Amino acid sequence: MQFVSNNILPISIALFSGAMLFWSMFGNRIRGIKEVDCTAALQLINHKNALVLDVRDEGEYKAGHILNSTPIQLGKLKERMGELEKYKEQPIVVMCRSGNRSVSACMMLGKSGFSQVYNLTGGIIAWQKANLPLKK
């Protein structure tokens, strides 16, 4: 007990760091967000006719995007949700630059009743690292 009281700050930091690491690894699963890597995303796109939803800003999209992706900025997704209604029962791969903004989009789509929403892990950065094509 003496050890704990003498080292409360380092112990607290270690526990907090562990919790943050746990959340970064399992947080999306806990929130019900399905994640796919580039290979799985390609399979969804090529074999299941998945829609690729790009939630990056206009400038980011113009710099390079996945072929035939649909650009809807994250900030405008709620007001443009009606445009996606026809894809409600179809797979949707949501992507952004690194995979963080797309998590928010996945949550919004899930709450709106979209049943097959997937977050592209690592976003366009992972896509580029995998040497997959971009359209400019």
pLDDT score of 94: 98
Whole-prediction pTM value?
0.81
Domain boundaries, position 16: 1-30
> How confident is the prediction along the chain (136 residues), in pLDDT tens digits per residue?
788 788 888 878 877 776 666 555 555 565 668 999 999 999 999 999 999 999 999 999 999 999 999 999 999 999 999 999 999 999 999 999 998 899 999 999 999 999 899 999 999 999 999 999 999 8
Strands of the chain, DSSP E: 34-36, 51-54, 70-71, 92-95, 117-120
CATH number of domain containing 89: 3.40.250.10
Cα–Cα distances in Å, from 96 out to 4, 12, 20?
44, 34, 22
Domain count, the chain: 2
pLDDT score of 114: 94
Instruction: Spell out a b/e string for 96-132, using b for 16 or more CB atoms within 10 Å of the CB, else e.
Output: bbebebbbbbbbbbbeeebebbbbbbbbbebbeeeee
Q: Looking at the structure, tell me whether residues 12 and 66 fall in a common domain.
A: no
Q: Looking at the structure, tell me whether residues 46 and 106 fall in a common domain.
A: yes
Q: Looking at the structure, tell me whether residues 26 and 36 fall in a common domain.
A: no
Q: Looking at the structure, tell me whether residues 7 and 67 fall in a common domain.
A: no
DSSP 81: G
Tokens representing 46? 């090529």
**Would you name the residues annotated as active-site residues?**
96
Nearest to 34 by CA among 50, 13, 18: 50
pLDDT score of 59: 96
Nearest to 119 by CA among 61, 42, 33, 57: 33
